[in-house]
Structure 1
């Protein structure tokens, strides 16, 4: 029965789609700096989270992210709002990405679908790490079938100097605060609301490369041949990301995750020399302004140098699935709270394989509730069976002290 509401929601959305043909899904003839929103789009009311009014463990993820020992291990999943869900695809197959992420009614709906379906301990807003770039003068879009495309050249002195301060986020990106405030209203007393930002090196890499890349060649050329310019870019984006995260907290986010999504392109030496100082600056800005808000740092592909992440200044380190949790705990030190790190591919396995992977991860972290937030080592993959996510969530909640 819990999927019935989602199926009805998808059916209702499909009846609205003919009116959306004005939104292009092809590469635009010229860059679009202004957020592409249309507040006239009608969408169903977001799902109601039908849990007890104030469940005793509604804040368990928040407490664990602060480093507290909890009665069980809480769970959320990166890309938990995603294309593996039929209800989500009713939007993603018909709305351009920025229409979905920058129209509050749609972003709220997509953020809550998975929480409603699975009873997750955390709700993360549906958005993108590139979202704030338009507020500082970097023009970008997400093109269907191609992915992110960045139009502004930041590989020159002139390009870096042209970037502005973030300024008033409510004025430049008004949909962000509206989305988070609405989500906080829906999740209050039910689960923890997460916000997120991209780490400055990853954002700089996206901008320098003009989108996705196999080797991050352009940003590394800047690092090796013009390190001062590269650091100038990293510093500007570090400040922007920190201020953007603070705005999210002011708008209702209770935990912030900082995504170093392209850490797999970095050697330990380059991470320590370039990416780490910039990420630490972002985290310092957040913690100075909001010392009581937990910050989680995730370096995707950074499990080879977890020892370098002990002193990031964050409250918790999220670990990818290229390392077992017990080894990650050892590398980081027993005093560092951890998040992660079930292999997303396991969710294509059998029910017992999924449940065993969850048990192994909890055991590797030192047992249930041991300052650990269960997550995947990366995002839920497209095509993942919906029931597999349900089995993982159920197993986490079964394991108690």
Structure 2
């Protein structure tokens, strides 16, 4: 058994240790708010080049680590990355987002999908994660991430981002058999992908079901929760000690249901007070979050107060400090730096009653 001090700090929190301060990282911490990223993007305009060419993805993943020393370094990638490996091509257009053409709308298309073979279709993931582990050592925890079945299905069926998810919901309510088969195939592929990321070096994996918050609670229990659980059960069967995090945007109405899929940590958005989230989730579920990303436009005093309020309410066990969603592109870089500095000093600041 490794000494606790040799285990990266975020991993210790994810495993439920009581710590003096929470570990801290940010969703979308590698990206457009950083000048270093924008400079690299100008040189390599294709998002898929940046996320699928190992040397570029490694550099982008490490940019915030070098600048801010977060406790977590997350793989720079996209939730759609594994889709071509099962037979669903996609593109990402700058300022427009993902495009899947043709979208998945028929039984015939679902039948043609094939199992994921990650060594064949995603070899760059191994190089990225192995290199990140070597580069950060025990100074940070390396996080992998995947999309959850409902959210990947939403992109694939809508063909792009959506405001109302009318096409996938129409399928859910009029042709549920096709959708359930599709969700099952996606769940099995995602489980393979999570296990592959862990085998390649990911120490914690976050599953984004970003659009499951668009479902009513009853529909969440039919179309999202069972397939999240299918992923988690397959992963835990082979990698029981790797902590898994679930994030859903707009999850206030389904918060208690989220841990039913078996994840270790629920990432909470900013529409729920952290004290309420703790009470609603119970003592055995870890929490991540949950500061409003727009708070980083405030003064340093405002940012500090919001961070300390969140940490005070979350307590010393099983909390990872984070935003309630991704850092916004126009966020001042110096405020991101202050966020990390303050969170890392939280125990001292709280002790003196700041």
1:351 aligns with 2:300: yes
TM-score normalised by L of structure 1: 0.84
Kept in 2: contact 1:205–1:216 (CA 8 A):
yes
The Cα shift of 1:264 comes to 2.8
Q: Deviations over 1:127-184 (max 9, x none)?
A: 00000001000010101221100114322100111111002x1221211111111111
Aligned mate of 2:322, from 368, 372, 375: 375
Q: CA deviation at 1:101?
A: 0.3
Give RMSD over aligned pairs: 1.5
Report the alpha carbon displacement of residue 57 of structure 1 after superposing the two structures with TM: 7.3
Q: Distance in 2 between matches of 1:226 and 1:57?
A: 52
Give the corresponding residue for 1:237: 186
Change beyond 3 A, Cα 1:175–1:310: closer
* Residues 109-148 of structure 1 mapped to structure 2, 5 A cutoff: 109-148=59-98
Query: Equivalents in 2 of 1:57, 1:88: separation in Å?
Result: 31
Instruction: Give the 3-state SS of the residue equivalent to 2:109 in structure 1.
Output: helix
Aligned twin of 2:137: 188
Counterpart selection for 2:233 from 284, 296, 306: 284
Secondary structure of the equivalent of 1:257?
Answer: strand
Give the match for residue 101 of structure 1: 51
Separation in structure 2 between the aligned mates of residue 69 and residue 260 of structure 1, nearest angstrom: 28
Q: 1:380 to 1:58 in 2, by over 3 A?
A: farther
Give the conservation status (yes or no) of the 8 Å contact 2:259–2:265: no
User: What is the 5 A alignment of 1:166-185?
Assistant: 166-167=116-117, 169-185=118-134
1:220 aligns with 2:184: no
Q: Distance in 2 between matches of 1:60 and 1:246?
A: 22
What is the alpha-carbon distance in structure 2 between the residues aligned to residue 233 and residue 176 of structure 1? 24
Give the equivalent residue in structure 2 for 1:21: none
User: 2:30, 2:7 → 1: CA distance?
Assistant: 20
Distance 1:234 1:261 in 2: 15
Report deviation, 1:392.
1.1
Give the SS at the match of 1:165: coil
- Could you list the structure 1 runs, at least 4 aligned residues long, displaced by more than 3 angstroms after superposition: 54-58
1:153 corresponds, among 103, 106, 123, to 103
| Distance (whole Å) between structure 2 residues aligned to residue 88 and residue 56 of structure 1 | 32
Instruction: Name 1:399's counterpart in structure 2.
Output: 346
Q: Hey, what does 1:273 align to over in structure 2?
A: 222
1:55 CA drift (Å): 11
Distance in 2 between residues matched to 1:215 and 1:57, nearest whole Å = 47
Contact 1:108 1:126 in 2 (8 A): yes
Specify every segment of 5 or more residues in structure 1 that has no aligned partner in the other structure, as ranges. Answer: 1-53
Corresponding residue for residue 302 of structure 1? 251
- For this pair of structures, how many residues does the alignment match? 345
Looking at structure 2, the residues matched to 137 and 246 of structure 1 have their Cα atoms a distance apart, in angstroms, of 20
CA distance in 1, matches of 2:31, 2:14: 23
Is the 8 Å Cα contact of residues 23 and 321 (structure 2) preserved in structure 1? yes
Matched, 1:385 2:335: no
Unaligned segments of structure 2, at least 5 residues: none
1:56-100 CA-partner distances (Å, limit 9, x unpaired): 476110011122212311001000001000001012234210010
Which residue of structure 2 aligns with residue 20 of structure 1? none
Q: 2: CA distance between counterparts of 1:201 and 1:298? A: 13
Task: Give the Cα separation in 2 of the matches to 1:158 and 1:287.
Answer: 32
Secondary structure of 2:224's partner? helix
Structure having the higher helix fraction is 2
Q: For residues 337 and 74 of structure 2, what CA distance do their matches in structure 1 show?
A: 17
